[in-house]
Each structure stands twice: as structure tokens, then as C-alpha cells.
Structure 1
Amino acid sequence: MKYSLHLIWLLAVLISPQLHTAQNYAQHGMVVSDNEIASKVGVEIMKQGGNAIDASIATAFALAVVHPAAGNIGGGGFMVYRPKAGDVTTIDFREKAPLAATPTMFLGPDGEVIKGLNHNSALAIGVPGTVAGMALAHKKYGKLPWKKLVQPAIELARQGIPLTYALSRDARGIDQWDDAPAFLKQLFTENGKVLEFNENWKQLALANTLDIIATRGHNGFYKGEIAEQIANYVQREGGIITEKDLNQYEAIERKPIHGTFNGYDIYSMPPPSSGGVTLVAMLNLMEQADVEEIPFNSTAYTHLLIESMRRGFADRAQFLGDPDFNEDMPLDRLTSKSHAVMRFKNIDMDKASVSDPSTYGHPYDGENTTHYSVIDSDGNAVSVTYTLEQSYGSGMGSNELGFIFNNEMGDFNPQPGVTTTSGQVGSDPNIIAPGKRMLSSMTPVIVSKDNKPFLIIGSPGGRTIINTVYQTVLNATLYEMDLHDAIESMKIHHQWLPDVTYYERHKLSPDVVKNLEEMGHTMTPRNVLGRLMGISIDQQTGIRTGVSDSSSPDGAAVGY
């Protein structure tokens, strides 16, 4: 009877009336994610009495089924939680290096990085953290039973979902990719045939894995048969993860990075995410400029953005890494107003600065992460960004387990002491070490005003995440844009090295581009920067506005 009731609930989620869009409004709870079904799952949990943490957990597991490019139980990420009452906190469930990892594990006999080894091999798989992170969040702040939160994902995997147009495009692309990993090659097939748009897509092995997790919680993934199967699979493929790595993995609750900007409080992730520190540092720097005299999207404004990003990412590369391995990171100094004053003084408003690879740089980040934002009827707010690294992670997975593994080891600095103009960094804070968490760009953010939640925001996009979120926060808090305009407005990206500014094609004036090039900036167009998922809260009425970035084909804002 239990499963028939869940099946009835699942059918209600799949065929409920289309009362939501990429932009939606609600009086009570809201979930905005990269997939409509996952957003609905989170909202249904809140309707059944769950809080924002419960909804975020259910959404995470649902995304692991319906959004395999980035939704995951084989990856990791970060959660920022702002309760209605009490202190803001964060949960770090970033992946870790296996205990057998070494600083030079990706180098050949010549001391150079072996091309592709730190991204496209089993050695690139970090110890996954998602299940541990969700379990810790539930233990400390959840309300409904754990199994109730995982069960919707089980039913989605077992009963199947209609293959969306975006997933069907992925399926065709993978089918035509001759060198696709074996697991990825069969992910969207049935009886040897590639599934097509709107056909029912089942994932029975994943359903069985989720069933064990639903029954046994954290230990269901990190101990016992699943842990054994993970270790056996990874080692068989040439990786180094062991059962001991999994047995010892724990998510960590950490104090958030807190900054202020224009009368707003900014809360985001501390290291091993670089997002919070870099975001606050850049906002502090922007506070030094007389932006009211600088027209939005003008040459001067865009130049100022680039220079603030250049300095934020320079500090990021030099100082940030896993805090458990870097006790002397100067976080207070980097996020201070005085540091911004010093940094602002050497900005020349008439020409571009020079990025010096002998001193600064950035680590590599993949670009297929996913973000979702949640608020419940009581005002508890959750901002979650989690990832597999690249799109579909390593592409590797066990047929018995049914999920894709990350390739996050590529986020470490692969060659100690070597920083290049192409963007490779060799600074000490992010060098590989056993049990170390790799540096990340993920930037889940909660902004509050007068001690009330104002904005819940985040984005995928690898190295571009920080800057995409940065500009959206600026748009909403400084320029008072509504959330839709804040998300859809022009975005640029500069990360110190390589010394290139990316900008969204057709959103920046050709005259501005020409002016910036004459000032010494290298300008390169991109079709899209980021895929933001956000919720804003009207400070007078409490109405929630949810917006899914137009670049997300399956994204949806769902509320009630």
C-alpha cells in the first residue's frame, strides 16, 4: 500500500496543472531549480509539513534522478541555511581527495601534467559528499522523517519520467560520442535503443541505491554494500578510492562568510568554497566607487567590474583552499573594508591592469553544476549549489549502483609551484593532499535586509559562478532591479588568468566592447554565462518571486 500511495503522489507531481513558469509568485513556499519535477517535489514536501531543509533534501535527491548532468549523489557541494530564528549556518559536503592521493599524482616522468588525467579518468574521482551533506542537514535541522524525503526520488527512478527535450538532445549527443564512457553510453537506452523525447525513462539501479540510502541514511552510502561496490568499481577502473575513504567521510557545519553591502547582509560559503570570500571582497571594492555617477553597462561600469573581478580572483588564487589544511588563510583581511580601500586605490579608470602569472592565477573548475533555492512558509531559507564538476562528471558509473561519479580532483592545483598565463595555478593552499577538500567556485548566497530574507540566489558555471552571482546581487541590491531583470541582465567574467574578459553575446554594446579593447582589455563573447536560480522576497508583503534563468531548458519556479 505504501508504494501505491507514493505512485499516486508521483503521478500528481508529473501531471499537475501548469500553473508555474520560469517566473512565479507564491505566498508560502517556493523552490526554484534546474528541473520542474524536482521543484515540484520540494514544494510537495513543504505542503506535507516539511520545512525548507526537508524540501532542499528532497529536491537534491530528485535532481539526482531527473538532472543527471549535475544533480547527484556521486558529487558534492555546499548549503547555506538561514533559519527564521537563529544564526545563519552552512554545510560543507565538498568531495575529498582519497587517502592515497599525492601532490604529483597527475604528473608524468617529465614533471608535466598528463593531459586529461585529472579530468577524464578514475583518478579524477573524489570521495562523494552529497549524501553525507543531506544527512547532516536533516539530522540538525530537518523535520520530516528521512525516508519520506528520499522516497519521491526512488519513485521517479523506478516508475520513470518523460524524457525532456533537453535530455533527449543529451541522449543523442552521447550516442554519437564514440569515446563516451560505457555507463554514460547506456544511460539513456532501453533494450539497446536510445530513448527519444517524451519516452519514459527508468533508472532501476539508481532506485535500488536510493532505497538503501532511504533505509540506512548516511551509513547506507558510506558503509556496507554500496561503499564496497563504489570502491571495487573505482579501483577496477584505475582509481584509488577505498572503503576506508568512504567510511571516514563526514560533512562539516561551518560558520558562513558574512559581509555587508549597501545596507544588506550577505551570507555565503566559507572555504573550501572560494565563493563567499571573493564575492564579499568584490562587493566591498565596488562600494568604494561612486557608482551612482557611472551608468549601468557603460564602458566605465564594465571596466570597474572587470578590475574588481581581477583583484578578487587574484586573492582567491593566492590564499584560498581547504581550511582544515590551511589554518592561516587571512579571511578577515580579505573580506574587510580596509582591504577593499587598498585594492581600489590601484585601479586606473582609463586602462586595464596587468595580470601577472608569476604571482596570481586560478584553479580549473568544471562548468556543469546546479543550484536551487528554497524558502518555506515560515521564512526559513536554503541556498544549495552542488556539482559533478564537468557535465555528467566523469561519465563513469557502475551498472549496479546507477549513478555518475564526479571528476572533482581536477579542481586541485595539479602541478605544485607552476602558475601559467593559460590559467593553471600552483599555489600551496590548493595543492593535492590526502583527505583534503578541493577549492571550489560554488557561491550559494542568502541576502537579508533588516534581519529578513531578501534574496536567495546561486548558479552553476564553474569559474564563472562567483562573478555571475556577484553581478546579480549588485543588480538586485544596488540597482534595485526585480529578480527577473537582475538575472537576465548582461553578465561578464574575468578571473585574473587567463587575462580575458568573457561577455554575453548581444547583451553588451559593441561600442562598449570597442572602448574596453582600446583600454587594453581582451574581450571574448560567450552565448551564456551562468544559469541562475533565485527567489526574492518582498519586504512589505512577504510575497515570494521565483525566477529560473532563461538559459535553463527544464528549470522552473514552483510555489504555493
Structure 2
Amino acid sequence: MFLPVCPVSGHSLAVIVLSLLSLALFHNSSSAARGERVKANNAVASTLCIGVLRPADSGLGGGGFILVQSYKGEAKVFDMREMAPGRASKDMFSKLNATEWKHSPLSIAVPGQLAGLYTAHQQYGKLSWKSLVKPAENLARKGFKVSRSLSQKMANARSMIMADKEIQTIFAPNGTLLIEGQTLRLKKLADTLAAIAKDGMSIFYNGSIAQGLADDITRILKALSMYNMTGVTTALLVHRTVEALKYALALRMNLGDPGFFDVSTTLKSMISNNTAENLRKLIDDKKTFDPPHYGSKWSQLNDHGTSHICIIDRQRNVVTMTTSINTHFGSRFMSPSTGIFLNNQMHDFSIPTSKVRPGAPANYVSPFKRPLSSMAPAILEKGGQVRAVVGSAGGLLIPDAVSQVLINFFILKKPSYNAVKAPRFYHRLYPNVLLHENYSSSVGDRYAFSLRTLNELKRKGHQLRRAASVMTVCQFVVQVLKGKNSGQLIAVSDPRKGGFPAGY
């Protein structure tokens, strides 16, 4: 039986790590968690439940990536990234203002989450599809307590909620926004999940749900057709890591959907030891530089949101998955017929008409193309065995968070919990500002760097800015490979948002 525990725990057989205690509790009674091989079972059930419990961040209206590895070492990636509609074009956003590009029906890409989950289940699942969808349907229909995080996001989106009668009926049923601890029910979404449980993904993409989505959108926009080193307390360590991240940020904007743009040369260069060594030599321990120094040619991606889960079962099958609808509540358009909030992932494409820096050609909009993403679910192996599983929520800042957790654990030799809990820093390249965590969590944990470290970073030329709230949330699982505890799984859920692992 899966048991929710503190943010870090050790288990011998299996673990699941996510950012919601209520979901950890769900696995106590879920048949998907009792001694069965993980494969796609827990991944499907957990992701659909997360889409209900976190409607501002994830759901059927979005997409993501699944990385699955069997106990035999065979790995497979399921690309659930949203796709541009058939009528999309490179210049489609050229005459829109920033708000119209970010929050409008034009910002909606074709959702990919359900197709990815269903395909993964068909290949790896042991339990029936219906049994895995049912828990999410029950949550949506019976209701659940609004979390602190969701309450805050609802408050931030108050004007959007109150401006739409359908959305207001759900999130402010009596004319006042629901608050933390009150019950939220998503009846239309429950009906949609019931239909999906019965008929699979075909009804979503080709059946009545697909037609309902298209009808809902075209009522607003007629143009759209049907959806076809010793602690991060030393400034030098922070400085070197930030400088490396800046070079990586510049390089990544040469990437794009490989089905539309040849990125083979760029990828080969990025993962070569020679490139790493050359970049290492370029890092100056005494100072930082302006963005052009790092080879930046294009405007940076600015993706948002996301949810992440890590799962390892008793046979050491692994699933690590990140999902998203992009910014909070996505396009801010909820399909009245289905109760689904639709993504705004079209905002993740680059556009030629950027006023500050040109957009990256490899990431221009094209029909049926997938935009660049920062999502980074990862599995690390040693000697043919799983050593660690990691992933993060946090949009553009995901690579920063994942790299720091791995550096903390594997290089600085911090315990797994400390590797996740250590304060983090972030850099977007543009603007040329180093964000550093400096806040106390809701449970009183303090995340901050020492004044000495910050002053030394200033002397190296870094422009510092305080990150006063949670920016990223990591999930991390480590398998012990030596000693008397060999085979034990150490699971850590980022305490920044009160996450809990579960295991047995």
C-alpha cells in the first residue's frame, strides 16, 4: 500500500512523488497502486487527477512529455506537446498586442495530453483504461477542497473569472470567489471524463467532445477550424553555474520541432564533450557579461506553469512526466460544453516581429508544428541501473532547477532532501538579472542565500533581484546502489509547495 509520508522518505519497493498530499492519499485506496507494475497505471491516474485538482496549471486542454523506462532498460518518450492548428502561420500574431497573443482563442494549440496518456496506457498499462479515469471523474463530480495555491491563482485571475458567466458559476458560485478549504466541483469536466473513460481518446479528438470544443471556440473566433561544490553558499559555485546556464539558454533557441527544422547539428554540438569543455574555458570566474557575449541571437522562450510526477515500481519500471497548459488557466478560455480549460501554448512559438530581439526561426509558427518547451523529465542511470529520477514544474526555469538539484546531490554530495530544499537561483538571459530565492514558505521554511554570497556576486557584476515566492517545484527519487540499503528508494517532494511522496 502506498503511504504518504514527510517530504523525504525511504522505501524498498515503489514510490510516487508529486506536489499534492491529496493525491498521495488517493494512492492508499487506488487499485493502481497495490502491488501492480507501474507502467502507465499510476501515471495516467495521477495526471488526470492533477488536471482536476490543479485546473490552473494542468489538464486535458494541455500537453507535456512522458519518459518511460522498463526494468530491462528500454526507454521510450511520449511527446504530448500541443500542436499548432492547420491554419496557423508564421505571421499570425504580427498584428496582435501582447494580451491578444497570450490570452485569446488564437493562443490555443491542439491539446496532446489525452493522446499521450492513452497511447502510453495501450503500450504499458495493465489495468483497464476506465478504472484509471474513474478516480479523476469522481474527484471532479464529488468535489475537493480548494488548496492554498489554487486559491491564490483564482484570486490573481479574478477579473477573468468574473467576466465569464460559465467560469464564474464554477469558481464563484455565489458571486464570491471560493477560498482555501471550500469545496470546488467541476461537473462538466466530470461528464467529459466519464465519456473519455467509456470511449477512450477517439471521442476527444474525433467525436462529440471534439465537436463541442470546436463549436465553443468558433463561437468566439470563426476563423478556427475543427481541431484535427560545498553548498550553494559559495558565490563562485553560483557564478559558474549561472554562466553555464546562460550559454545553454543561448544555444537552446537554435532548437525547434525536428519535423520542421533540421536541428541535428545543433543537438550533436550541445551534447558533445568538446562543446562543454570550450564553454567551460569561456567562463570567467571574476566577472559576468552582457547577454550578447553568450552567443544569444534570438528572443528567449517564456513558457510557464507545469506539474510533474515521478514514479518507480517494484520491478524498477520508471515514469517521469511533466504536463502543462502554460500560463495559469492557459488561454483563460474554458470550453462550456466540456469544462476544459484550454492551453495557450501558441504563445511558446517565436514570432518574426519581436520588438526587442528577433524571434528564433527554428521556433516560428507553422501548421501542425510543436513549439519549443523547457519541460525536462529525466532518468539517470549508473551501471545499467536507475540511479535517479527527476523533474520540475516552473516553465522556462525548469532547467535551472533540475540542474541545481543534480549538482547538489551528485557533485556537492548533499543528502537528497537537502539537494531539493537548498535555495535556488535563476537566470533568463534577458533581462540580464540573476534571481535569487529569498522568502519563507507557508510552513515557515526559509529559502535564502547568505548576504556574503550575494555581495560577492554583486562584485562579479551580477544584477540581483529577489525572487519572493515559489518559482520552481522539483520532484526527485534516488535509488541506493551500494551497501546494506542497496535497492532502497529515497523519494523527495519539494517542500516549497508542501509536496509529499508515497511508497511501500
TM-score (norm 2): 0.90
- Write the distance in 2 (CA, Å) between the matches of 1:497 and 1:195: 37
- Write the distance in 1 (CA, Å) between the matches of 2:345 and 2:222: 13
Query: Any idea what SS the aligned residue of 1:399 has?
Result: coil
The question of 1:237 aligning with 2:220 is answered: yes
Structure 1 residue 196, shift from structure 2 partner: 4.2
CA contact (8 A) 2:251 2:296 kept: no
Superposed CA deviations along residues 348-391 of structure 1, whole A, max 9, x for unmatched, are 21111331198424433233211111111111111101101011
The question of 1:325 aligning with 2:260 is answered: yes
The answer for the alignment partner of 2:242 in structure 1 is 306
- Write the distance in 1 (CA, Å) between the matches of 2:153 and 2:26: 23
Query: Any idea what SS the aligned residue of 1:436 has?
Result: coil
- Write the distance in 2 (CA, Å) between the matches of 1:556 and 1:395: 29
Query: Any idea what SS the aligned residue of 1:39 has?
Result: helix
Query: Any idea what SS the aligned residue of 1:25 has?
Result: strand
- Write the distance in 1 (CA, Å) between the matches of 2:161 and 2:64: 30
Structure 1 residue 235, shift from structure 2 partner: 1.9
The question of 1:132 aligning with 2:132 is answered: no
- Write the distance in 1 (CA, Å) between the matches of 2:50 and 2:309: 10
- Write the distance in 2 (CA, Å) between the matches of 1:515 and 1:184: 49
Equivalent of residue 349 in structure 1, options 285, 304, 311:
285
The answer for the alignment partner of 1:502 in structure 2 is 435
The answer for the alignment partner of 1:63 in structure 2 is 50
- Write the distance in 1 (CA, Å) between the matches of 2:60 and 2:161: 26
CA contact (8 A) 1:31 1:374 kept: yes
Query: Any idea what SS the aligned residue of 1:212 has?
Result: helix
Residues 1:168 and 1:354: Cα distance change in structure 2 (over 3 Å):
closer
Structure 1 residue 212, shift from structure 2 partner: 1.2
CA contact (8 A) 1:372 1:533 kept: yes
CA contact (8 A) 2:4 2:25 kept: no
Residues 1:482 and 1:185: Cα distance change in structure 2 (over 3 Å):
farther
Structure 1 residue 154, shift from structure 2 partner: 1.0
Unaligned 5+ residue runs, structure 2? 439-446
Equivalent of residue 116 in structure 1, options 88, 99, 118:
99
Equivalent of residue 524 in structure 1, options 465, 468, 476:
465
CA contact (8 A) 2:374 2:398 kept: yes
The answer for the alignment partner of 1:515 in structure 2 is 456
Structure 1 residue 168, shift from structure 2 partner: 3.8
- Write the distance in 1 (CA, Å) between the matches of 2:49 and 2:361: 37
CA contact (8 A) 1:41 1:58 kept: no
Superposed CA deviations along residues 285-329 of structure 1, whole A, max 9, x for unmatched, are xxxxxx6xx874312111101110110011011x10111111243
Unaligned 5+ residue runs, structure 1? 1-12, 247-290
Superposed CA deviations along residues 505-551 of structure 1, whole A, max 9, x for unmatched, are 25222222222222222111102331112222222432222222122
The question of 1:547 aligning with 2:484 is answered: no
- Write the distance in 2 (CA, Å) between the matches of 1:533 and 1:27: 18
The answer for the alignment partner of 1:409 in structure 2 is 346
CA contact (8 A) 2:42 2:311 kept: yes
- Write the distance in 2 (CA, Å) between the matches of 1:308 and 1:172: 37
AA in 2 matched with 1:536: V
Identity of aligned residues (%): 27
- Write the distance in 2 (CA, Å) between the matches of 1:58 and 1:132: 14
Q: CA RMSD in A?
A: 2.4
The answer for the alignment partner of 2:82 in structure 1 is 95
CA contact (8 A) 1:101 1:432 kept: yes
Query: Any idea what SS the aligned residue of 1:551 has?
Result: helix
CA contact (8 A) 2:89 2:367 kept: yes
1:381-392 → structure 2 map (5 Å cutoff): 381-392=318-329
Of residues 32-41 and 71-80 in structure 1, the stretch that sits farther from structure 2 once superposed is 32-41
Query: Any idea what SS the aligned residue of 1:81 has?
Result: strand
Equivalent of residue 167 in structure 1, options 150, 154, 162:
150
AA in 2 matched with 1:130: Q
Structure 1 residue 50, shift from structure 2 partner: 4.5
Equivalent of residue 436 in structure 1, options 369, 372, 375:
369
Query: Any idea what SS the aligned residue of 2:66 has?
Result: strand
Residues 1:22 and 1:242: Cα distance change in structure 2 (over 3 Å):
farther
TM-score (norm 1): 0.82
AA in 1 matched with 2:422: S
Structure 1 residue 241, shift from structure 2 partner: 4.4
Query: Any idea what SS the aligned residue of 2:352 has?
Result: coil
AA in 1 matched with 2:416: L
- Write the distance in 2 (CA, Å) between the matches of 1:307 and 1:362: 18
Residues 1:392 and 1:348: Cα distance change in structure 2 (over 3 Å):
same
Structure 1 residue 180, shift from structure 2 partner: 5.2
Query: Any idea what SS the aligned residue of 2:407 has?
Result: helix
- Write the distance in 2 (CA, Å) between the matches of 1:115 and 1:36: 36
Structure 1 residue 49, shift from structure 2 partner: 2.4
Structure 1 residue 89, shift from structure 2 partner: 1.7
Structure 1 residue 195, shift from structure 2 partner: 3.5
Aligned length: 488
